[in-house]
Structure 1
Amino acid sequence: MYPKLSEYIEQLLVQEISDERKTVLQPLIDFIKQKKLNQEPIDINFICTHNSRRSHLAQIWAQTASAYFNISDVQCYSGGTETTALFPKVAETLIESGFYIWKLSEGENPVYAVKYSENALPVIGFSKKYDNAFNPDSGFAAVMTCSQADGGCPFILGAEKRIPITFEDPKVSDNTPLQTDVYKERSLQIGAEMFYVFSKINN
């Protein structure tokens, strides 16, 4: 891990996870453990309506947590019920946490490369529908990160398991003086919860 990110992860590891949230997170822990036990690839697709904020944060933090805890064969993806763009404040917030991020392409829906370690492959971030060819088409856990997508997508084709783990949308703070703090808070929550999940896999 990059040094600044390693320092940030120390904060994640001491965050208090409520019993209520632990119950919400348990099905994802169970899915990963079962896949590991069966020696099968662990594919997780984080899904939110616009694939612009929460789903990307969850994808990147989960991939980072899997590496931190040496859980192999984990591939994390993200998608939406529609395509928009990764919101720039998400990338800015992750850079502040210690990730290295750069754009691979420009345009209305830029493609980003996100690295948590010098020698790790980057996580590729861009907005896409959950069934985009970039994402897995079978055997994956569909983690619904927003209630709108969870309610609006009663069926996710190819998902082995559907798991609602919803987060409050940081978008509510856009164009307000609180925006930076709200995005930091949401990233911290999502990061802490993904690290909690992967900390339980070898237990």
Structure 2
Amino acid sequence: MYTSIKKYCDSLVLEFETIPQERKISLSKISEYIKVKLSDKEPVSLTYICTHNSRRSHFGQIWAAVASNYYAISNVHSFSGGTESTEFNNNAIEALKRVGFKTKALGTDKNAIQLVSYDDGENALECFSKVYDHPKNPQDKFAAIMTCSEAEQNCPFIPNVELRIATTYDDPKLFDGTDLCEEKYDERCRQIALETLYVFSKI
């Protein structure tokens, strides 16, 4: 794992007490799901879902991959999707870069695949905006983690899901084009990282 990301995680694991108890109850349900799947020697598939699959769901997918690596938990696979497809927002990408991730766009298309790396020894994550049931995502036996309230409300039914849970986050999009943009994206990235590390710390 890149040194800057490792240090970032090391600092966050000292802050688990800042997570509100009601959040911990929801997050622990994800931990329990992962533990049961692993105890049954089954692969774990986690799909993070928000409306546009442009910001928070990508943070969830990426930090789940990092957290499983940080805690040396194998056979966990993370994905993301939306109720519609847009693009992996550049402000979110820049927030990840500030943490220490390396990114590379495959092409110049608005919704080009972004290769996101957190470790030279691991395959880069392929991130792009897509609907939650896109062929690249699991079609059954997965957990759906709803990262925004709009997707939670507009997606009343997700086929073949084993666990559906809402861990919604405020949208940094509200600060696009403002002086607070960078701060709010960093804040959301850090919150999702903190809570995802908490999930994996319980396994």
> 1:90 — aligned with what?
92
> 2:115 — aligned with what?
113
> 1:5 — aligned with what?
5
Taking the aligned partners of 1:20 and 1:14, their CA distance within structure 2 comes to 19
Taking the aligned partners of 2:22 and 2:174, their CA distance within structure 1 comes to 24
Q: Is 1:65 the equivalent of 2:67?
A: yes
> 2:54 — aligned with what?
52
Taking the aligned partners of 2:38 and 2:134, their CA distance within structure 1 comes to 25
- Offset at residue 21 of structure 1 (A): 1.2
> 2:179 — aligned with what?
177
> 2:166 — aligned with what?
164
Relative to structure 2, which stretch is displaced further, 88-97 or 11-20? 11-20
Q: Deviations over 1:96-155 (max 9, x none)?
A: 101111112221212101111010011111000000000000000011111110111011
- Give the 3-state SS of the residue equivalent to 2:79 in structure 1: strand
Aligned length: 201
Taking the aligned partners of 2:110 and 2:120, their CA distance within structure 1 comes to 28
Taking the aligned partners of 1:105 and 1:134, their CA distance within structure 2 comes to 19
Relative to structure 2, which stretch is displaced further, 130-139 or 100-109? 100-109
- Offset at residue 77 of structure 1 (A): 0.1
- Give the 3-state SS of the residue equivalent to 2:144 in structure 1: strand
Taking the aligned partners of 1:90 and 1:158, their CA distance within structure 2 comes to 30
Task: Report the identity percentage.
Answer: 44
- Give the 3-state SS of the residue equivalent to 1:71 in structure 2: coil
Q: CA RMSD in A?
A: 0.8
- Give the 3-state SS of the residue equivalent to 1:141 in structure 2: strand
User: Equivalences for 1:19-30 in 2 at 5 Å?
Assistant: 19-30=21-32
What amino acid is aligned across from residue 4 of structure 1 in structure 2? S
Gaps of 5+ in 1: none
Gaps of 5+ in 2: none
Runs of 4+ in 1 over 2 A off after TM superposition: none
Taking the aligned partners of 1:60 and 1:37, their CA distance within structure 2 comes to 24
Q: Confirm or deny: 8 A CA contact 2:49 2:151 kept in the other structure.
A: yes
Q: Confirm or deny: 8 A CA contact 2:95 2:185 kept in the other structure.
A: yes
Q: Confirm or deny: 8 A CA contact 2:28 2:202 kept in the other structure.
A: no
- Offset at residue 19 of structure 1 (A): 0.9
Taking the aligned partners of 2:135 and 2:107, their CA distance within structure 1 comes to 18
- Offset at residue 59 of structure 1 (A): 0.5
- Give the 3-state SS of the residue equivalent to 1:14 in structure 2: helix
